[in-house]
Amino acid sequence: MTARVLVVDDVPANVKLLEARLSAEYFEVVTAADGQRALDIAERGQCDIVLLDVMMPHMDGFEVCRRLKANPKTAQLPVIMITALDTPADRVAGLEAGADDFLTKPVNDLALITRVRSLSRLKMLTDELGARAATSTQMGLEAEDASFRRPGTILLVDDRASSRERIVAGLQRDHHVSVEADPQEALFKAAEGGFDMAIVSLELTGHDGLRLCSQLRSLDRTRMLPILVLVGPGEEARLMRALDLGVNDYLQRPIDKNEMLARVRTQIRRKRFSDRLRDSVQQTIEMAITDGLTGLHNRRYFERHLDTLVEQAADRGRPLSLLILDVDHFKAINDTLGHGAGDEVLTEFSRRLRGAVRGIDLACRYGGEEFVVAMPDTDPALAYLVGERLRLKIAGEPFAVGAGVEPVKVTVSIGVAALAGPEDTPKALIERADAALYQAKRAGRNRVAAAAA
């Protein structure tokens, strides 16, 4: 999904410059020339991140940021303050207003894209967690109330004593910092777990900090650990290599304390939201919303969550498509081979279905031999192609149904429908997909049919 960036600046030349830089990296860009217009766009959910100039008439960037963070509808929206006044007081004021990060004019291209990518990924996590939590609450299953404000646990890898002391002094009021000068020992410590993030110097004496970053990304136990690297002036090439390796963010020496606090806070929040999301999906509501045979979400969860997906798509002007799948001649399998063989077919069908859709898609067992897939940010043409790929995946290889039994050839019929507009409803979307499914059945089965536009 492409992040939508709101650029807020009253100087047209500044807006055009930022718009060109972001568009070149395939971000969508919306613009506002004043604070009130920015607040309106954000409240309508038409952006994923805000680049906010400080110096504006009528309402400055600090006030806009305060209002965004005070509004429950926009409180989780990441805000990057852009200022020509590069003083600690400005950064403190931005932090107090709720800003997530800072950029100083003239804006460095690498810094711009790195910050926007990092915070847009955080926004995607918070959106998905919010949707899952909303679904759980609607179903009477309260999501666990976890605090994201508790101190973070940080592993600092730096062999310069003066640098370590300044970093620890800047972080220790809000976080617990464990210091390690040797990269190999640091890797062992990180693998033992318990850290919210790692800060790694790329200027280690006699050691390659990039190698440590690569090792952290390659180990299962540290693969998701946020990494922030420290770089000196003129180290752009090594920094680009670090970002290619999967490093999340960077700080350039000399390090500004408030900038460091902002970057650390973002990465720790991202880690905790990510952890919470996995726990929420895998544990909090798993038993109540999971089909016991296939492991997919069940119809109860699907109908609740589809309401959320339709509402989000309508509010943001995004496409949403739906597939309904029905195993062809399933009753004959049960009648001739028994219900045990039928269960084997449904289990294998679910495995193939899960392997053919994206992580953001919602695949569920709708009932019996019928399945559904809700596909955010997917137009009808692409959904049809996905349906055809699924059909071929099912028909391409017979299904094993037990020892000593000949594998069974299985096919599927699929109906495709898409959200028709902001006034469309989940019920109408399901009905159109269901009608398309029956069209596929009437046409001979083992095919995909699309609902009329």
**Which residues carry out catalysis?**
369
Query: Is the Cα dihedral 8, 11, 16, 18 positive or negative?
Result: negative
Query: Is the Cα dihedral 453, 448, 434, 438 positive or negative?
Result: positive
Contacts of residue 334, Cβ cutoff 8 Å, sequence gap at least 6: 341, 342
CA-to-CA distance for 4 and 7, rounded, in angstroms?
Answer: 10
Share of the chain residues as helix, strand and coil, in percent rounded to the nearest 5 = 50, 20, 30
Query: Which string of b and e fits 23-45 if b means at least 16 CB within 10 Å?
Result: eeeebebbbbbebeebbebbeeb
Identify the CA nearest to 281 among candidates 133, 93, 410: 133
Q: Enter the DSSP assignment of 52.
A: E
Find tokens 């990269």 and name the residue: 183
Characterize the bridge pairing of strands 197-201 and 227-231.
parallel
CA-to-CA distance for 453 and 440, rounded, in angstroms?
Answer: 16
Please provide residue 431's backbone torsions phi and psi, each rounded to the nearest 5 degrees.
-65, -40
Instruction: In the chain, count H helices and then E strands.
Output: 16, 15
Reported as type and span, the H/E element at residue 197 is strand 197-201
Side by side, which strands form the sheet with 175-180? 175-180, 152-157, 197-201, 227-231, 249-252
Characterize the bridge pairing of strands 197-201 and 152-157.
parallel
> Which two three-digit tokens encode residue 343?
């269960």
DSSP string, 264-295: HHHHHHHHHHHHHHHHIIIIISHHHHB-TTT-
Reported as type and span, the H/E element at residue 46 is none
Enumerate the H helices of 44-108 as residue ranges: 61-70, 88-97
CA-to-CA distance for 367 and 445, rounded, in angstroms?
Answer: 19
